Structure 1
Amino acid sequence: MESQEEAPRRRRGGWRVLVAAVAGCAVLGGVLVLVPWGPGGSRAPEPAPGAQALAAVTTGVAAALPDLAVLIDEREAHLRTHPKDAGAWAVLGAAYVEQGRRTSDPANFPKAEKALRTSLRVREKNAEALDGMAALANARRDFRAARNWSEAALKVDRGRWTTYPQLIDAHTGLGDYKAAKRALDRLLELRSGPAVRAWAAGVYRDRGWREDAAAALSDAAAAAEAPAERAAYLERGGQLAWERGDLEVALRHFQEAVRLDPDQRAALAGQGRALASLGRTTEALNAYRAAFAKQPDPRYALELGELYESLGLGQAARVQYDLLRERAARGAAGGVDEELVLGRFEADHGDAESAVRRLRAEWRRQPGIAVADALGWALHRSGKDKEALKFARRATDRAKGGGVRSALYSYHLGMIERGLEMPGAARRHLREALRINPRFSPTRVPLAEEALEELGEPSLEDVPDMDAKPRGR
């Protein structure tokens, strides 16, 4: 049980449909709709697109892609005649980071780095540019560099609240969840508002406080003014709902996010994920294809390939896996660390030994929970179950940061325990995976169900013993 000092502790009763019960929104027929704000149903005039994007990138929230393009054009035009404007270079770099993140186009990241380093040359003690470098490092999954850049920014300005979200992401990627919580506590002391609530939600989710995470995201989405920002919080709320198996709720959140911001491709991929889990396969395929066409993230290619595989469409799956490799290579050329997704892919669909090599190196660089889970599974797939168990347990051990309620992590742990002839533990964790989300994967759910059938019901002697020594490989 969490101590009072660790807890947020703002318990809410059950999952709330995001934004539905707050001012400015209504629910009609189960669909979220926005209603006018302010006296007489009027709203203040919205700022110009460039100004909207400027407000977004300088506070670390999602910006609409057309607005980002306007901001980039404005800053580039300004810098042609004012090349010593360090602040403008920092904004340009941050805008390129956001554009690269939103489009999964790694070509934006070298441009971002050039602009940010120019800003630092013009003015060395420059917290804005240091913040931008931290955001760039996080986008590239270089969490050690992100931590270093964040700490450098805080040396310049200890009260700079926008640095703490970057530090939270960096600590999380490095597996230092206590440090991430400390950074969040400091952020909450400095600032309030929708962006801060959304960052808090991420920390709560990682600690297993799913109701707190859902409530924080609901508040963030209700308070966000820009459609792109609100859509980003709805997408994250949809992902939370999907993780706990609330598939219809997840689908509504994803659909509303796309309605608010048609460029919210993560929500479109989320629709594919939810639709596939609901058995609406044709719609799921269309959603995934549309998401990948506009935001060719290797993770989407992996999910779409596995969906094809579950349908017996091996050739179509192989096309997606080839696209995954291609996009990962392009990401690496832009400085993005794609070893985690490549390791996951190789473990299940390629060379398991290659996956182990990749993920061992990744673990040395940044030992987060996602890497622990992936490395444990790769070791299992390569026949090293005893070592695999150590990593799979770490990924699910709350004392070591593994508080995430993940059906996939529980499935991996259960299958590894099955290979080690630990039937009681295997049965418990496989059932847990299906309780967390009964439709968490089109390829893995049938395997979990088959394994449970083979394991059968527990005998009187089959008493759970977490300290039992594994047998087998």
Structure 2
Amino acid sequence: MTMRRRTAIAAVLAGALLLVVSVGGWYTVVHDGQATTADAPVAPAADAVDPLTAAITAAQQRLDEVPGDWVTWAQLGSAYVEQARISADPSYYELADGALAQSLTLRPDGNDAALTGQGALANARHDFGAAADLATRALEINSYSATAWGVLTDARTQLGDLTGAGEAVQRMVELRPGVASFTRVSYDAELRGDLPGARAALEQALAIAQDGGDEAYCRTYLAALAFSTGDLDGAAEQVTAGLRTAPTSPELLLVQARVDAARGDTDAALAGFRSVVDARPLPEHLVEYGEYLESLGRLDEARQQYALVTTVQQLFAGNGVTDDLSTALFAADHGDPAAAVAAATTEYGRRQNTDSQNALAWALHAAGRDAEALPLAQQSTSTGRESALFLYHRGTIEAALGMTAEARASLGRALDVNPYFSPLHAPRAQALLDSLGGRP
């Protein structure tokens, strides 16, 4: 599933990459004892465009012939959730909702496959409380479903229950050690500040990758992890290797664009960001591209990207996706503090994790309420995970409160963790640090 949010800008992308059933993982419902060979859709043709599209087509054909096949309805619904992630087309969520509901209509009792699919859908729509409940119900029926444990892991992570998430992912690994489980182990380790453990888990996942898609998926996260620590060469190495098997992967191209921007290769970075927003016009991608343009002084072009953000957010909202986190951060950074506080407060009411703490802190700062912001900023940087963006936010809030020594320490640490964390905000962090007297 989806959603890794290795930076706050990438927070929703963590929703997209970790919070739905992961690449290569959506089909695991077939292998968890939830279907028999006879129930499964026919194998895709050898000349299929891609396995997911082929499997969706096969499931649709199967249901034309056997409309009462509740297992295939559940598989189709889960596949639609994954297709929404891959295509950035939220209309697939409605298709997923309908398919999963049909499965439950046909088999209301003992249908853990459909409940698991609904949990993945709820995660994708950022309804993490519902996702946790649905996964728990699925596990009450089938405690051996690695997929359901993955859905529960993601939901608990986003709800800020790191202990519960760790327990769930451990059970998932025991049941099905694979790409989907080891990438979750990696994120769990990263959130606890264990970067060597996070990297080792991703390398385990890469070692057992079954195909080019799985390999590219693993290398995307290895590249993002390297970039989050300022390791441009390591990130570029993983991107290059990943692009050999998935040359058009937007996720890999996004990391490459960040590396190019950090190295000052403006033409390559612009081309990379453009290709990403063309392929995946997600709000966070539009914001990131816009902020890169803004950092270059190309303000009119940046505004064009920002203007699209609200439109795309409305499209996702119309398909049941709640995205107050990115709304809050965007509004705080782009001149609407009242909207930022409203969105961040709503998000914080749903879940208390480091992402929501950081977003509310930054929104309150934008509104001039730094005394209220400080405890949240401190909480968001207290779990062991070192996010350069979160530390920058904390340092800015400390500076506004006259806490010069603390601000210098936070800003210096942010730039130590990753001096390239944002082409727009990293220079601001350095400028503020310099104005306070430099590093302590």
Take 2:410 and 2:49, find their aligned partners in 1: how far apart are those partners? 42
Indicate the residue corresponding to 1:92 in structure 2: 76
RMSD of aligned Cα (Å): 2.0
Q: How does 1:302-341 map to 2 (within 5 A)?
A: 302-341=287-326
Indicate the residue corresponding to 2:175 in structure 1: 190
Take 1:257 and 1:299, find their aligned partners in 2: how far apart are those partners? 22
Once the two structures are superposed, residues 35-79 of structure 1 have per-residue CA deviations (whole angstroms, 9 ceiling, x without a partner) of: xxxxxxxxxxxxxxxxxx997422289x99722111111111110
Indicate the residue corresponding to 1:129 in structure 2: 114
Scaled by the length of structure 1, the TM-score of the pair is 0.82
Indicate the residue corresponding to 1:67 in structure 2: 51
On the 8 A contact 1:54/1:91 being kept in 2, the answer is no
Indicate the residue corresponding to 2:421 in structure 1: 440
Alignment-mate amino acid for residue 172 of structure 2 = L
Structure 1: runs of 5+ lacking an equivalent: 1-52, 460-473
Take 2:318 and 2:273, find their aligned partners in 1: how far apart are those partners? 25
Counterpart of 2:419 in 1: which secondary structure? Answer: coil
Kindly indicate whether residue 423 of structure 2 is the aligned counterpart of residue 450 of structure 1: no
Q: How does 1:239-388 map to 2 (within 5 A)?
A: 239-388=224-373
Indicate the residue corresponding to 2:410 in structure 1: 429
1:359 to partner: Cα distance = 0.7
On the 8 A contact 1:232/1:264 being kept in 2, the answer is no
On the 8 A contact 1:65/1:99 being kept in 2, the answer is no
Query: Structure 1 residues 215, 120: CA separation in 2 closer, same or farther (over 3 Å shift)?
Result: same
Indicate the residue corresponding to 1:227 in structure 2: 212
Take 2:116 and 2:220, find their aligned partners in 1: how far apart are those partners? 25
Take 2:367 and 2:24, find their aligned partners in 1: how far apart are those partners? 49
1:350 to partner: Cα distance = 3.0
Indicate the residue corresponding to 1:57 in structure 2: 26
Take 1:377 and 1:54, find their aligned partners in 2: how far apart are those partners? 33
Alignment-mate amino acid for residue 212 of structure 1 = G
2:188 to 191, 194, 203: 203
Kindly indicate whether residue 146 of structure 2 is the aligned counterpart of residue 177 of structure 1: no
Once the two structures are superposed, residues 60-118 of structure 1 have per-residue CA deviations (whole angstroms, 9 ceiling, x without a partner) of: 89x99722111111111110121110111011111110000111110100000100111
Q: Which has the larger radius of gyration?
A: 1
Structure 2: runs of 5+ lacking an equivalent: 1-21, 31-43
Kindly indicate whether residue 61 of structure 2 is the aligned counterpart of residue 77 of structure 1: yes
Take 1:256 and 1:378, find their aligned partners in 2: how far apart are those partners? 39
On the 8 A contact 2:433/2:439 being kept in 1, the answer is no
On the 8 A contact 1:65/1:102 being kept in 2, the answer is no
Query: Structure 1 residues 428, 114: CA separation in 2 closer, same or farther (over 3 Å shift)?
Result: same
Alignment-mate amino acid for residue 97 of structure 2 = E
Alignment-mate amino acid for residue 57 of structure 1 = W
Alignment-mate amino acid for residue 285 of structure 1 = L
Take 1:365 and 1:151, find their aligned partners in 2: how far apart are those partners? 18
Once the two structures are superposed, residues 160-213 of structure 1 have per-residue CA deviations (whole angstroms, 9 ceiling, x without a partner) of: 122111111101111111111111222233332333222211111111111111
On the 8 A contact 2:116/2:135 being kept in 1, the answer is yes
On the 8 A contact 2:179/2:214 being kept in 1, the answer is no
Take 2:392 and 2:342, find their aligned partners in 1: how far apart are those partners? 22
Take 1:245 and 1:296, find their aligned partners in 2: how far apart are those partners? 26
Indicate the residue corresponding to 2:130 in structure 1: 145
Query: Structure 1 residues 446, 155: CA separation in 2 closer, same or farther (over 3 Å shift)?
Result: same
Counterpart of 2:146 in 1: which secondary structure? Answer: coil
Take 1:234 and 1:288, find their aligned partners in 2: how far apart are those partners? 19
Query: Structure 1 residues 344, 227: CA separation in 2 closer, same or farther (over 3 Å shift)?
Result: same
Counterpart of 1:90 in 2: which secondary structure? Answer: helix
Counterpart of 1:59 in 2: which secondary structure? Answer: helix
On the 8 A contact 2:230/2:420 being kept in 1, the answer is yes
Percent identity between matched residues is: 38
Counterpart of 1:58 in 2: which secondary structure? Answer: helix
Indicate the residue corresponding to 1:390 in structure 2: 375
Take 1:165 and 1:178, find their aligned partners in 2: how far apart are those partners? 14
1:438 to partner: Cα distance = 1.0
Scaled by the length of structure 2, the TM-score of the pair is 0.88
On the 8 A contact 2:412/2:439 being kept in 1, the answer is no
Indicate the residue corresponding to 2:38 in structure 1: none
Alignment-mate amino acid for residue 394 of structure 2 = L
Q: How does 1:31-46 map to 2 (within 5 A)?
A: none
Take 2:380 and 2:25, find their aligned partners in 1: how far apart are those partners? 34
Query: Structure 1 residues 80, 98: CA separation in 2 closer, same or farther (over 3 Å shift)?
Result: same
Take 2:409 and 2:146, find their aligned partners in 1: how far apart are those partners? 43
Alignment-mate amino acid for residue 315 of structure 1 = D
Indicate the residue corresponding to 1:17 in structure 2: none
On the 8 A contact 2:52/2:83 being kept in 1, the answer is yes
1:422 to partner: Cα distance = 0.5
On the 8 A contact 2:24/2:213 being kept in 1, the answer is no
Indicate the residue corresponding to 2:95 in structure 1: 111
Take 1:89 and 1:410, find their aligned partners in 2: how far apart are those partners? 45
Alignment-mate amino acid for residue 362 of structure 2 = W
Indicate the residue corresponding to 1:463 in structure 2: none
Indicate the residue corresponding to 2:396 in structure 1: 415
Q: Does 208-217 or 123-132 show the bigger shift?
A: 123-132
Alignment-mate amino acid for residue 379 of structure 2 = R
Which one has the bigger helix percentage?
2
Indicate the residue corresponding to 2:35 in structure 1: none
Alignment-mate amino acid for residue 224 of structure 1 = A
Query: Structure 1 residues 344, 55: CA separation in 2 closer, same or farther (over 3 Å shift)?
Result: closer
